[in-house]
Chains A and B, each alone.
Chain A
């Protein structure tokens, strides 16, 4: 199993550009998450999905969109990039909605918006 994979690893965007961060998991997990982590800060939840076709907003959804057409894939779309979106983005997944499941994280995407 590859676990949770993310592409790209690094990206520099200009203000106003758009891009999609890709996330794929091969563990047949139902729940998937997108977090952002700013320097010295914890993980902030952007969006989450409890299964294919079902997504919902997290704590900091503004400026982002997601889709979940398959169990495996959960892409994050940035429209009209802004410097405030400079961050490290982590995708994570868990098997189901149990409180006791650990989250499995992808390697992250480091995004800089100039």
Chain B
């Protein structure tokens, strides 16, 4: 069974701090990795995708991938209260199927 594991949280950080969200996956053949943000009562929306080892930065967001350790993370710098949401890690194991983690709830305290 292919799995994607996340700490459910909640992760609470003060405004302006760095939030670090982590995800591990079981299938070594996984090819692409995504972070979706989901506000309460809303649908998931893509915020980052990463395909190769290393870091990928987009504004305040940095995704990090380590395929050898089967680990992907998301850093949010200068966290804002509007970043409070559930963050879903998603892993494509090849082709058109994606496996989603259960999500980490993030609270940013003003």
> Which A positions have Cβ atoms within 8 angstroms of B?
31, 35, 40-43, 45, 48, 50, 90, 94, 96-103, 105-108
Contact = CB atoms under 8 A, between A and B. Distances in A.
Contacts of A105: 43-45
Interface of B: 4, 8, 31-32, 34, 42-46, 49, 51, 88, 90, 92, 94-98, 100-103
A52 B102 CA distance: 30
A99 B32 contact: yes
B95 A99 contact: yes
Contacts of A41: 102
Nearest to A104: B46
Contacts of A45: 97
Contact of B32 (A42, A97, A100, A106): A100
Contacts of B96: 31, 48, 50, 94, 96-99, 101
Contacts of B4: 42
A42 B100 contact: yes
A32 to B, nearest CB: 10
B32 A107 contact: no
Main secondary structure on A side of the interface with B: loop
Contacts of B103: 40, 42
A5 B20 CA distance: 33
A103 B102 contact: no
A31 B102 CA distance: 23
15 contacts: A31-B96, A35-B100, A40-B103, A42-B103, A43-B100, A97-B95, A99-B32, A99-B94, A99-B96, A100-B31, A103-B44, A105-B43, A105-B45, A106-B43, A108-B43
Contacts of B45: 105
A99 B91 CA distance: 9
Contact of B102 (A42, A97, A100): A42
A102 B94 contact: no
B88 A107 contact: no
B57 to A, nearest CB: 18
B37 to A, nearest CB: 11
A42 B2 CA distance: 14
